[in-house]
Each structure stands twice: as structure tokens, then as C-alpha cells.
Amino acid sequence: MTKQSASATVEVAADPATAFRIFTEEIDLWWARGPINYFDSGRAVEMRIEPGVGGRILEVYRVAADPADEDALEIGRITLWEPGVRLGYRSSVDDTETEIAFEPVEAGTRVIVEQILRPGGEKAFYQWPNVIRWFPKWVARRDSAPSVPRELGRLSVALHYRDPHAAARWLHTTFGLDSWDRIPGEGERLSWIELHVGTSAILLFELEDNSAPRADHAVWVYVDDLDAHFARSTEQGAKIVTEIHQHGYRRYEAEDLEGHRWTFAQARPTMA
């Protein structure tokens, strides 16, 4: 049986009018770009919300034959447009309706998303409980971050763990890896776990059998302060394979909680 609804709540440090404007006008800046975050990620170049009732929520494509042309997938049609109060739309890709409310709170604004299956509907893509979590991260960093979308690089690394959720938490706590999306909480089960180093993604998957993780592949990560990173890894209990040493570049090697080997090296001042 198809679930009838899904909801999520986040808070941002901005007043409701500002939060509404950032949400709608800057959706392409806070939407996390990744392989599963679009209906057609191989062609997507922009997310866009057209203002006002009747406006469209679009996944914009660039036609390869002529980059000046555009094609787009209409994700929804706006049915409610009350700046600073609420936004609603009827989905064009499934049988749901979504309302996003902006409520004032002491710290700024509470954003509440409710996505429901329409009566008689059968198809529902309940993406908002995941998507809305990207919004506070952009609001928190937009004053100091470039006003351009964060684009993934052309190389991603996949690692397999017996428990990828526990691995994500360990890698975040011990090695300081972060995520454009989120780190799964204790007891939380995600269908997709993606960590990031700069513009590169590290994808965590579950081992399909009881075999040990492969030991013939390693991940290299360049960090701003190698000594501080080494101290953090040591303090958090990482198995240090080789301490900091130098041969052209400074680096150390460590193993994670399931035996994957990681090399951390000092980044050059010119590295983004």
C-alpha cells in the first residue's frame, strides 16, 4: 500500500520573508547536485521555481545540439503563493500535493513540509523529507559562500562496508568527512549515503556478502592542516598505519573501522 503522506521540519536563521525568498529564488544554489537528485541527472543544468500561482517548478535541461536552447521537466504547478507564509504546488510527476509553510520562531523560521497523496492517487515520490535538509546548510553558508551551485567533480569513489551507516558516522567523527546532504543519525537507515571531500563524492554501500572489504584500493584525501587532522584521527582511535612522514609531500596512513586504508596528505595552498 502506498504511504499517504510524508513530512519534515527544519529551522533556519532568517526571518520568514527572507527564508521564503531564499527558498524560491535560490533553489539552484541549495539543491544538492548529485546522481540521484534529479529525474535525469545526465542532462540537468538547473532547478528553477517560477513565482506566483500557476508558476512551474522545473528541472531544466540543456539541449546538447545547441547549448542556447533549453528543455525542462515540469515537476509541479504552484497552487499557493504567499511570500513569507506558504508555498504549495501540485506535482506533475506523481499523484501528490505539497505545502511548505514558513513559521516565525525565536531563532528565525521553522520550515514545515507536508507532501500528501491525492485522493485516488497511486504514485508518490516522497523526496521532500530528504531534500528540505539541504536548505538550512545553504542559509547558514550563503553570506560567505560563492553564489554559484556546488557542482560535483567528475570522479567519485565507492566504498563497501558491512554497516555503511555506522561507517559514515565514524568517518565524519574521526576523519572529519562531511556531506552536502547529511550524516545518518544513530538508528537511521538511508537508501543513499554520500560524503564529500571538496567536489569529490565518496559513496558508501553495504557489502553484498560477508566477505572482508577489499584491501587493494585506498582513498587519498588532501587536507588543509595535516597535523591537526592527524591529532584528531589519533584522538578518535583510528588505527594509524604510518605516522606523518615526507617524501615530496607530507602524509600519513590510517585504517577505518572496517579496515579500509586512507592516505591523508597536506594540501597545497593553490588547491581549491
Kindly provide the b/e burial profile for residues 187-223, where b requires at least 16 CB atoms within 10 angstroms of the residue's own CB.
eeebeebbbbbeeebbbbeeeeeeeebeeeeebebbb
Q: What is the domain range of residue 50?
A: 5-141
Q: How far apart are CA 96 and CA 107, in angstroms?
A: 31
Here the CATH number for the domain that contains residue 27 is: 3.30.530.20
Residue 137's SS3 state is: helix
pLDDT (0 to 100) of residue 152: 83
**Which pTM does this prediction carry?**
0.79
Residue 147 lies in a domain: no
Report if residue 30 sits inside a domain: yes
> Is 242 among the domain residues?
yes
Residues 41 and 68 reside in one and the same domain: yes
Q: Which of 106, 141, 176 is the last residue of a domain?
A: 141
Instruction: Scan for cell 569529490, then name that residue.
Output: 200
**Same domain for 109 and 231?**
no
Shared domain for 89 and 217, answered yes or no, is no
- What local confidence, expressed as pLDDT, does residue 123 receive? 92
pLDDT of res. 211: 66
Q: What are the φ and ψ backbone dihedral angles of 245, each rounded to 5 degrees?
A: -145, 170
Instruction: Tell which of 141, 175, 197 closes a domain.
Output: 141
DSSP tag of 87: E
Q: What is the CATH number of the domain that holds 208?
A: 3.10.180.10
Rounded to the nearest 5 percent, the helix, strand and coil shares of the chain are: 20, 40, 45
- Residue 67: the pLDDT is 62
Q: Is residue 232 part of a domain?
A: yes
Pairwise CA distance, residues 138 & 159, whole Å: 27
List the chain residues with pLDDT less than 50: none
* Number of independent structural domains in the chain: 2
Asked, for residue 148, whether it belongs to a domain, the answer is no
User: Are 127 and 175 contained in the same domain?
Assistant: no
Q: What are phi and psi of 175, to 5 degrees?
A: -100, -5
Question: CB–CB of 95/106 below 8 Å?
Answer: no
- 121 and 161 in a single domain? The answer is no
